[in-house]
């Protein structure tokens, strides 16, 4: 009933023929979306569990940002992308009007939260690599708290225009709701997309030129410090990891975001939106695997946690099997013990069993005596 109301409102509001994605494309899109959602959820859960369960990982500043990012991705994958995949599987929206609006809000918040996470991580990388003296004077704990608050509060504040005005409506091109408020679109493009992207690019460029200058200077003087070189290489590896993650998200989300923002006349084919949505889904779900490939410590600890869980499961299965075997043998033994005749005497089977035991004891005693002689 709610879905039909959404369809009727959008059909009456459009003057031309409503364009929809082809069924073949939505069917393939649903299959691929569910595959990436499945692996994305498993990867995020394993990564978060590993970092929180290992003390040396959860006390690291970078890993705190990673956990915050992965919780954001869990919400995005488990709620937003799941309903998008269901809409592709059913060829129409299945969540109702309220869920349709919530997906728009959560998508905006998750997108802004992810980009501002990368922005503040890039600033932290710039301070660590280029300005180490500033890092010694600043409070890392305060920086982490302020960063986590900004990444959550700022995207929520940017959604206020959509909260105040009913500017969200259903789109047959995307098979879900979209924002129609021009002010909200402008805020999303400037505050949640362009501003953090510019800061991230400038930070990575500053790190690149600093590393290039440091390597060029050390090559000319031929007096590199071993400890400084090792520490710099480690920070560069971490910076490369986040640069790859940002590039993956940049290539996955920004084509979809800019096309949705600038295709106001709905001139593009709806199948293009399905393809762009799949790219966005892939960029989100692939982040745990990027961490595992580019961070040796996280990869080894994740493998160790997986092995320990599998080993503990095998031990639990063996204990359950042994307990069931023990419970099945106890009633049999009790039946044999209480198997007496009608006159109260022991049955022949019991007498036969006891005579065999006596023979075994006597034969054992004889063997022992013979060995002693």
Instruction: With a cut of 80, say whether residue 225 has pLDDT above it.
Output: no
pLDDT given at position 165:
81
Residue with tokens 């590393």: 211
19 secondary structure, DSSP code: P
Instruction: With a cut of 90, say whether residue 346 has pLDDT above it.
Output: no
Q: Is 56 left (phi over 0), alpha (psi -120 to 50) or beta?
A: alpha
Write down the pTM of the prediction.
0.76
Q: Which residues, in sequence order, are CB contacts of 291 under 8 Å at separation 6+?
A: 47, 66, 241, 298, 299
Which of 78, 262, 116, 281 has its CA nearest to residue 124?
Answer: 116
Q: Quick one: CA dihedral 349, 350, 355, 359, positive or negative? A: positive
pLDDT given at position 355:
53
- Domain architecture of the chain: domains with CATH: 2-294 (1.20.1070.10), 318-372 (no CATH)
pLDDT digits over 229-248, tens only? Answer: 666 777 788 888 998 999 99
pLDDT band at 72 (very low <50, low <70, confident <90, very high): very high
Q: Which residues pair with 254 in a beta bridge?
A: none
pLDDT digits over 140-153, tens only? Answer: 899 999 999 999 99
pLDDT band at 41 (very low <50, low <70, confident <90, very high): very high
């Amino acid at each position: 009933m709610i879905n039909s109301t959404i369809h009727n409102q959008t059909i009456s509001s459009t003057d031309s023929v409503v364009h929809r994605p082809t069924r073949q494309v939505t069917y393939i899109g649903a299959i691929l979306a569910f595959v990436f959602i499945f692996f994305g959820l498993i990867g995020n859960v394993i990564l978060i569990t590993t970092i929180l369960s290992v003390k040396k990982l959860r006390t690291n500043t970078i890993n705190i940002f990673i956990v915050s990012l992965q919780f954001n991705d869990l919400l995005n994958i488990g709620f937003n992308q799941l309903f998008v995949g269901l809409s592709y599987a059913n060829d129409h929206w299945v969540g109702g009007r309220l869920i349709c609006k919530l997906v728009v809000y959560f998508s905006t918040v998750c997108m802004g939260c992810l980009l501002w996470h990368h922005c503040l991580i890039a600033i932290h990388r710039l301070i660590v690599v280029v300005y180490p003296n500033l890092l010694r004077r600043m409070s890392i704990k305060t920086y982490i708290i302020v960063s986590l608050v900004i990444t959550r509060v700022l995207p929520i504040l940017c959604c206020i225009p959509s909260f105040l005005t009913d500017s969200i409506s259903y789109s047959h091109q995307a098979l879900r709701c979209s924002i129609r408020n021009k002010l909200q679109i402008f805020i999303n493009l400037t505050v949640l997309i362009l501003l953090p992207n510019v800061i991230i690019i400038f930070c990575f460029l500053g790190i690149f030129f600093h590393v290039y200058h440091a390597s060029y200077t050390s090559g000319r003087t031929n007096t590199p410090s071993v400890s400084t070189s090792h520490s710099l290489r480690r920070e560069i590896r971490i910076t490369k990891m986040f640069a790859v993650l940002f590039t993956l998200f940049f290539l996955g989300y920004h084509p979809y975001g800019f096309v949705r923002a600038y295709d106001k006349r709905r001139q593009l084919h709806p199948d293009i939106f399905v393809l762009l949505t799949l790219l966005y889904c892939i960029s989100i779900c692939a982040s745990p695997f990027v961490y595992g490939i580019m961070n040796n410590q996280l990869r080894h600890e994740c493998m160790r946690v997986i092995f320990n869980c599998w080993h503990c499961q095998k031990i639990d299965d063996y204990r359950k099997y042994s307990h069931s075997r023990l419970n099945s043998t106890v009633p049999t033994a009790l039946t044999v013990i209480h198997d007496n005749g009608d006159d109260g005497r022991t049955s022949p089977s019991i007498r036969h069993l006891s005579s065999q035991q006596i023979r075994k004891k006597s034969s054992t005693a004889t063997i022992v005596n013979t060995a002693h002689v």
